[in-house]
Amino acid sequence: MADKKKNKIVLMKGEATFHYIALVIMTLFMLFCIVPLVLMMTVSFSSETSLVHGYRFIPEAWSLDAYAFMWAKRATIARAYGLTIVVTVIGTIASLIITSLFAYPLSRKDFKPRNVIAFILFFTMLFNGGMTASYIVWTRLFHIKNSLFAYLLPGALMGGMNVMLVRNYFNANIPYSIIEAARLDGAHDWTIYSKIMVPLSKPIMTTIGLFSALGYWNNWTAGLYYIGDPKLYTIQVYLKKLMDSIQFLKTTDLQDEAVLLAQRSLPTESARMAVAIIALIPVLIVYPMVQKELIKGMVIGGVKG
# residues near other proteins by CB under 8 A: 18
Burial 275-290 (b: 16+ CB within 10 A, else e): bbbbbbebeeebeeeb
Coil, strand, or helix at residue 102?
A: helix
Q: Which is nearer to other proteins, 101 or 174 (CB)?
A: 174
Residues 127-186 that bind other proteins (CB under 8 A): 175, 177-178, 180-186
Q: Which is nearer to other proteins, 34 or 120 (CB)?
A: 120
Residue 305 found at the interface with other proteins (CB under 8 A): yes
Q: Which is nearer to other proteins, 115 or 247 (CB)?
A: 115
Angle at alpha carbon of residue 261, lines to 263 and 57, rounded to 5°: 55
Residues 175-234 that bind other proteins (CB under 8 A): 175, 177-178, 180-188, 191, 195-196, 199-200
Nearest-angstrom CA–CA distance, 49 and 210: 38
CB of 303 to other proteins, least distance (A): 13
76 exposure class (CB count in 10 Å sphere: 0-12, 13-18, 19+): middle
Coil, strand, or helix at residue 46?
A: strand
Q: Which is nearer to other proteins, 119 or 287 (CB)?
A: 119
CB of 172 to other proteins, least distance (A): 14
End-to-end CA distance of the chain: give it in Å, rounded: 48
Q: Which is nearer to other proteins, 64 or 196 (CB)?
A: 196
Residue 222 contacts residue 154 (beta carbons within 8 Å): yes
| Residues in contact with other proteins by the rule CB under 8 A | 175, 177-178, 180-188, 191, 195-196, 199-200, 305
